[in-house]
Structure 1
Amino acid sequence: MEKVLGVDIGGTKIRLGIINSSGQILYEEKIPTNIPLYPYLEENIMRILAEHPDVQAIGIGTHGFVDPKQGKVIYSADTLPGWSNTPVKEWLEKATGKRVEVENDANVVALAEAKFGAAQGLNRVVVLTLGTGLGGGVLWDGKLLSGGPHGGAAELGHMILHPNGVTCACGRLGCSEMYVSGTALERRIKEAGLHMSPPELFQQATTNPSAQKVVDGFTTDLALVISSLQAVFDMEMVIIGGGVSEAAAMWMEELQQKLETGLLNPVEVEVARFENDAGILGAALLVL
C-alpha cells in the first residue's frame, strides 16, 4: 500500500504525518515553526525520510498564496517571514528525489473533508480554517478552486469585512481574518481588558458579560463572512476547521442563531471532522 508524507505548515507549528492510501495516519509529529523556514523544513523532512524510506511522495499544505502548478509560495505576509517566492516543490524534489506537490493549507483541508470527512459526497463546499489567520478552501463541482495568476484564489480571509478597520498582515485595512481567527480573538480579548485564552473566553461567556460580548462580536462577524460567501458560492455546506474550531461546541449554537436571519437560504455548518489532522491528510491527498 502506498505511503506518503503529508506536511501542514502553519504560523506557529508544522505537523508532519505518514499516511497510507486509505487515509490512515501511521506516524505523526508536531514541531514549532522556525524561521528561516525552508532549510528547517528540508532538514526535518530528510530526517523523517531516513527513518521511513518507504515514503513515496510528499504533499505540503502551507499558509500563504500558492501557485500549485509550480509548487511555489507566491506570498505569505509576515506570518512566515522570508517564505514568499520560495520554490518549495523544485528545491524539495531536488533534495529528496521524490515527487512533491504544494497547495494552500485551507485548500488541503477542503480536500480531506471532501474525501474522508464531513463533506463526503458533496460538490460545493466552503471550508474556513480559523487558526493564526483565516484560511479558505472552496470545492467547486468537486474540484478545488485554487491558483490564479497571483496564487490568490479562495483567499477568503482577505475579503474586506470592516472597511477602514484593523490593519491586516497583508497591509490592507479590515480583512476578515482580523476579526474571525485565533489571533483576532486574542486581540478582541485584550481590547476588552480581559486576561484569558480563547478557550477560557468561550467557557466563561455564560457567566461573564464581558466575555459574552466578545463572543457575540466574533459570532456576528463569522455569520457575516458565511452570508457573503453564500451569495458568491451557494454552497451545500460550510466546514469550520483550525484551532478555534476545537471549542465550536461552545459557540456553534450562537452562530446558528445569527445565520438564521443572515442567510439567503439555509446552509449546513459543520466542524471539520478531522480537526487538526485535516491539514496533513489533505496534504497527503495531493500526492495519493
Structure 2
Amino acid sequence: MSILALDIGGTAIKYSLFDSSGVPLTITYEIPTPKTETDNHIIDAVDQIIIEMKRNHDIAGVAVSTAGVVDAEKGTVVFAGPTIPGYTNTPIKQWIEETAAVPCEVENDVNCAALGEFWKGAGKGSRSLVCVTVGTGVGGAIILDGKVWKGSTHSAGEIGYLPLSSGHTFQDEASTTALVRNYSQMSSFPVEELNGKIIFKKAKAGDADAARAIDELIASLNQGLLTIAYLIAPDMIVIGGGIAAQKEYLENKINDKMKNSIVSERLMPKSIRCADLGNTAGMIGALYHFKEKHPSV
C-alpha cells in the first residue's frame, strides 16, 4: 500500500508516491498549476493525477500540502491570496474523499515543509522548531512539542507580515524579491535579468555588490530571527525556501549575525540550520501529517 503526496503551489503541483515510512516509491512528478487570471482548475488536475496514479498503484490515502491558509480539520483552504485566484474555500479533503474513496488530509505548505524537516530533515531530533521559508515572500511555521501550532485563525507563523519600523513588512526586506531589487539598484542590472541563484553565483565569483546585497538580506532576516528567538525560544530555527540551497555560503553568516545581535547568547536557539529536504519537504511533511491522523494506514 502506498500514499500519494501532493504539493500544490502557485507555480506547480508536485506529486509522488511514498510508503508509510517516508521512502519514495516513484520519482517526483510535476505539472504547471492550472490557473487563469481569475480562476483555477486545481481540483480537476488533482482528480486526473489520482486517476493516473491509481491505474498502476494501490493507493491507501492522499496527503496534500498546499499554498493558502488551511483549516486542517476540515481540509479546506480558508484563504488564498492572488497567486491562486478563486482558491479560497476550496474543500480539498471532502472532494478527494468523495471522488477517490480514500482518506485524505490537507495542511498548509509551509507547515508541511516544517513537519518534513522536523521528521526527516534538518530539524530531526528537536521538540520545538520554527521554519522560515525565504522565497518570493517569507513564510513561517511553528512546531511546539512535536505539533504544528496553528493559532485561533489557522495562520500562526505568518512571519512575513511582521511590520518593521521602516513601514515595510518583514518579507518586503528579507525575501529573494528584496535581494533582487537591492542588487539591481546597486549594480544597474535589470531586475528581469536577475534571480537569487544568479546573485549568489556572482557573490561567490567576487562581485562586491552581490556580496553586499546578500549581507543586507541577512541583516533583514536577522530581525525576524531575533523576534522568533525572543518570543518563542525554539530549540531550532530552520531556514527553508530557495535560499536553503546556499547552505555553505549562508549558514555560518546567519549564525554569526544572530550571535552578534542577540542580547545574550543564552537566548540563542540550540541550532540555526538551512533546510535539508529541498523540494520534497512539503510532500514529506504532508505524509507525516497524514500518518498522525491515520496511524494504521
Describe the shift of the 1:140–1:273 C-alpha distance in structure 2 as closer, same or farther (beyond 3 A). Answer: same
Residue 47 of structure 1, CA deviation: 3.6
Task: Identify if the C-alpha distance between structure 1 residues 184 and 283 changes in structure 2 by more than 3 Å, giving closer, same or farther.
Answer: farther
Aligned to 1:205: 203
Q: Secondary structure at the match of 2:234?
A: coil
What TM-score do the two structures reach when normalised by structure 2?
A: 0.86
Go from structure 1 to structure 2 and tell me whether the alpha carbon gap of 1:254 and 1:134 turns closer, same or farther (over 3 Å shift).
Answer: same
The residue aligned with 1:218 is 217
For 2:222 and 2:104, the matched residues in 1 are separated by: 37
Q: Could you say if the C-alpha distance between residues 30 and 188 of structure 1 is closer, same or farther in structure 2, counting changes exceeding 3 Å?
A: farther
1:1-288 matches, within 5 Å, as: 2-27=1-26, 28-35=28-35, 36-146=40-150, 148-165=151-168, 174=169, 176-192=170-186, 193-194=188-189, 195-206=193-204, 207-263=206-262, 264=264, 265-267=267-269, 268-288=271-291
- RMSD across aligned positions (CA): 1.9
TM-score w.r.t. structure 1 length? 0.88
Distance 2:70 2:196 in 1: 29
Quickly say closer, same or farther: Cα 1:164–1:117, change in 2 above 3 A: same
Tell whether the 8 Å contact from 1:60 to 1:103 is kept in structure 2 after alignment: yes
List runs of 5+ in structure 1 lacking aligned partners.
166-173
For 1:279 and 1:85, locate their aligned partners in 2 and report how far apart those are by CA, in whole Å.
21
Q: Secondary structure at the match of 2:136?
A: coil
Deviations 1:130-155 (A, max 9, x none): 23332212110121112x44321222
Whole-angstrom distance in 1 between the partners of 2:268 and 2:70: 32
Aligned partners of 1:17 and 1:286: how far apart in 2?
16
| Residue segments in structure 2 that go unaligned for 5+ positions in a row | 292-297
Cα deviation, residue 75, structure 1: 1.2
> C-alpha displacement at 1:162, in angstroms?
4.9
The structure having more radius of gyration, on CA atoms, is 2
C-alpha separation in 2, matches of 1:224 and 1:186: 19
Aligned residues: 277
Distance 1:19 1:137, change over 3 A: same
Identity of matched residues, %? 29
Maintained 8 Å contact 1:127/1:136: yes
Counterpart of 2:294 in structure 1 is none
Decide which moves more: 102-111 or 153-162. Answer: 153-162
Higher mean Cα deviation, 131-140 or 234-243? 131-140
- Partner letter of residue 177 of structure 2? T
